Amino acid sequence: MQSPLITAYYVSAGLFAIQAFFVAMLVRPSLHATQTHYVRVMWSQAGINLLFCALQLCTAWQYSSTDLVSALLAHKWMNTFYVVIPLLGVLTIDKVVRSPESSHYSIFFRVLAAWTMVLLAYNWLSPYGYRFDSIDASARVLMPWDESLLLLRGAPSVVIDLAWLSGVFAILYVLRMVSMVHHTGDKPTTVYLLATVTLVLLTTGIDRAIDAGLLDFPYLDGFAVVLLSFVWFALLGRDIRKSYQYYASTKDKLYREIEQIKSSDLVTHLPNRAGTLQLLRPLLDQHRENGTGLAVFLLDIDRMDVLRGTYGHEAADTLLSLVATRLTEQVRDSDWVARGAGTTFVVVATGMKRGASLQQLHSQAALQLHEKINSVFALPFTLDGHEIRLSSYTGVALYPDNGTTADSLLACAELALHEAKNQSSTALQAFYPELRKQLRSQLEMESELQLAVQREQFELHYQPQVCAVTGRIQCMEALIRWRHASWGWVSPAQFIPLAENLGLIHPIGHWVFHTACQQLVAWRKQGHHDLRMAVNLSAYQLDAPELVGNIEKLLADYGLPSNALELEVTESVLLKNPQRAIERLQRLRQLGVRLMLDDFGTGYSSLSYLRVLPVHGFKLDRSFIQSISDNKKDMAICSTAIDLAKVLELEIVAEGVEQFRQAELLLEKGCSKFQGYWFSPPLNADSAGQCLRSVAAHSFAPTGSLAAVECGSPPLQPQAA
Ligand code: C2E
Ligand code: CA
Ligand code: CA
């Protein structure tokens, strides 16, 4: 090779350029978008590398020049890069290391910038650049390896020493930056770094000796900087890899944490609903593969709202976590407990036998688990020194019988739980397919019922209550009918409980009262002066504080005597607030309204209710009447009830009399008031009016066959009449 040193300059320039390119490539990934620190350091390194590349090229240009003019031009460019590079280094420190956020430049940078401007101006204005005052014309130097270079020599200028001083300061400043940015405790890298820095300092020292005219040698610091730059580049690359790994691992960890929070309940630390679904899905896959069954229990703690209201949220949460602990202790390791919505818990029993013939075994295992769940609530919980007893409702859905997906199983368990609550039964309620249909049609009916009042789909039918002694109709019972546009007639037994739950019973009841009173006024005007109207009153209606006032106004508005209205209540009015119910009934009685206890004998402890409730009489439920002709026990019950009425001086009405024989037997025992299909089914207003007219003319007496026929029933011929 003819000129190895010049080649080395070109090679080093190429290395600087390549590195600048790589650094620029490294900055690009969006990974560093938030790490402005690295981005800036790297861009400035790329910039410095390019400047060094230019410096090396200019050095090669000068040393290989054939004439002094070209060598001087190259020299001036070299000088330019020499003074700009430290300035860029200091700028990097200022912007990146020292105060990344600050928009101010350090004093040092400002002074250096000003000084650099002076040097640049001086460099380009003076004939020989800022280093020399004069140039020795015979500048060629032969290197020991026979390479001839055009090294400029001459009288050093006055500014060169100052330039050197500022250069030294800049280098120290930059070195400080390197030590600040780079905190690796890793020994080899520290050694490399120190070695290259030493090399840079050494070559810079040599440069100084050359400038001072002590040495006849080319500038070598560019080579040392190539090395330094490579080490620096390697360090940065490693830091970036590390930070990427850290970023990736923290992202992973964070993601896991978020998932954990999302899927676990903060109170009980059990999986929440989302977590339950997440856990249930792979579990179902596993059971599908194994051909085993699984049971999803959903249990709701009763009266938790009351406890929350009484003891506060924190205490209620403590209770829930106590329940969670007990539940977790009870189940097998292979089963698991999770938190459902609100106050519910999910318990999953895994690995059960399955198959149609094994259905029973399957549910036996379920029963065993239910026993375990119940045992959780057998002992009281202690909260702030109070003993609290809890109970729960439980619904269960089985895989694969009731559903094959996590969502569908949970939905089935929810419906079963709903049914358990509906039945107020703490026994285990299993899901069955009809349940869904039932509840769906109930939902449908609920929304239709909301509109029924506005759409005027209700109608009142009237069923006569007959006195067998006089053969007259004493009272008409108003019975509501709902004529739905597509379903036809809907039984009140179906929709009244719904209306009660939805609070619709109040507008419906209001309509019934008005319609019944209007009809009664009309009939009374037609000559049925003593006719009464019986209206059914649900417990929810009695609950309304405005009831008594409303009825008083109603009677006044229609000009009816208060005893023309009879209210039929069932013993269910005593369920919620017996004291208030009795008080309300007493006020109604004081008003003069007649009160009857409906469906007598169907609930519990009806006898004591007769004593407690201020009623004028009771209606013996049709279930006793049904089989009095062939069931001695029922007959005995009926005659006892009749005797009881006599003793208590209460009126008694027999409901659901369907056969002549039933009326006959009851009459024998002393009950003379009847209601039932034998006399007349409930009739619409017109038919009921006709019935009233014909009975008034002929009565239900033995000879009154015509009247009975017109009312839709065969005539009654009571023997004792
Ligand atoms: P309830 O008060 O016991 O009404 C008597 C029920 O027995 C009526 O059923 C009536 O049609 C039926 N019935 C009458 N005679 C016979 C008979 O000989 N044999 C048989 N098997 N049944 C007979 P309905 O009309 O379906 O009413 C059912 C229940 O709905 C009523 O029972 C009552 O509790 C309630 N209800 C009806 N109308 C109203 C109302 O306007 N308001 C309220 N709150 N409840 C009402
Ligand atoms: Ca009734
Ligand atoms: Ca009844």
Q: What does the DSSP assignment read for 480-535?
A: EEEEETTTEEE-HHHHHHHHHHHTTHHHHHHHHHHHHHHHHHHHHHTT-TT-EEEE
- Report whether 540 contacts 704 (CB < 8 A): no
| Mean pLDDT (whole number) for 613-627 | 94
Query: Tokens 């019934």 — which residue?
Result: 512
Residue 408 has pLDDT above 90, yes or no: yes
Does 439 have pLDDT greater than 70? yes
Query: What is the 8-class DSSP label of residue 713?
Result: S
Q: Please give the helix or strand (H or E) that residue 57 lies within, else none.
A: helix 36-63
For ligand 1, whether the C-beta of 596 sits within 6 Å is no
Angle at 23 between CA 18 and CA 28, to 5 degrees: 130
Neighbours of ion ligand 3 (CB under 5 A): 598-599, 655
- The 8-class DSSP code of residue 714 comes to P
Alpha carbon distance 183, 178 (integer Å): 9
pLDDT of 719 > 50? The answer is no
- Where are the domain boundaries for CATH 1.20.1070.10 in the chain? 4-249
Q: What percent of the chain has pLDDT over 70?
A: 89
Pick the residue whose CA is nearest to atom 4 on ligand 1: 479
Does domain 4-249 correspond to CATH entry 3.40.800.10? no
- Which ligand is closest to the CA of 479, given by its number? 1
Among protein residues, the one whose CA lies closest to atom 20 of ligand 1: 656
| Average model confidence (pLDDT) across the chain | 86
Kindly state the average pLDDT of the residues 87-104.
75
More reliable by pLDDT, 207 or 662: 662
Contact, 90 vs 109, CB < 8 A? yes
- Amino acid identity at 469: V
Residue 329: band (very low, low, confident or very high) from pLDDT cuts 50, 70, 90: very high
Highest mean pLDDT among 224-228, 235-239, 310-314, 510-514: 510-514
- The span from the CA of 693 to the CA of 476, in Å, is 13
**Domain 453-698 maps to which CATH number in 3.40.50.1470, 3.40.50.410, 3.20.20.450, 2.60.120.380?**
3.20.20.450
Confidence (pTM)? 0.59
- 316: tokens are 């209620």
* 345 bridge partner residues: 299, 339
**Average pLDDT score over residue span 634-651:** 93
Structure tokens at 718: 């009571």
- Helix count (H) and strand count (E) of the chain? 24, 21
Ligand 1 atom index nearest CA of 516: 41
Cα separation of the two ends of the chain? 147
DSSP state of 571: G
Residue 707 has pLDDT above 60, yes or no: no
Residue 358: pLDDT band by 50, 70, 90 thresholds?
Answer: very low
94 token code pair = 């200022």
Candidate CATH numbers 3.30.70.270, 3.40.50.720, 3.30.360.10, 3.30.200.20; the one for domain 273-431:
3.30.70.270
Position 584 scores a pLDDT of 95
Least confident of 19-28, 352-361, 481-490: 352-361
Residue with the nearest Cα to atom 17 of ligand 1?
656
- Per-position b or e across 268-279, b if 16+ CB within 10 A of its CB: bebbbbebbbbb
User: Can you tell me the mean pLDDT for 186-198?
Assistant: 77
> How many angstroms separate the CA atoms of 640 and 58, rounded?
128
- The minimum-distance atom of ligand 1 relative to the CA of 541 is 44
pLDDT(704) > 50: no
Task: Name which of 249-263, 498-512, 615-629 the model is least confident about.
Answer: 249-263
pLDDT surpasses 70 at 520: yes
Ligand 1 proximity of 718 Cβ (cutoff 6 Å): no
pLDDT of residue 721: 30
**What is the atom index within ligand 1 of the atom nearest the CA of 480?**
38
For residue 94, is pLDDT > 90? Answer: no
Boundaries of CATH 3.30.70.270 in the chain? 273-431
CATH code 3.20.20.450 region(s) in the chain:
453-698
Exposure string for 654-682, b = 16+ CB within 10 A, e = fewer: bbbbbbbebbbbbbebebbbbbbebbbbb
- Per-residue pLDDT band for 714 (boundaries 50, 70, 90) equals very low
Percent of the chain with pLDDT over 90: 49
Q: Whose CA is nearest to atom 32 of ligand 1?
A: 493
- The Cα–Cα gap between 690 and 326 comes to 69
Q: So what's the pLDDT on residue 701? A: 53
**Does residue 463 have its Cβ closer than 6 Å to ligand 1?**
yes
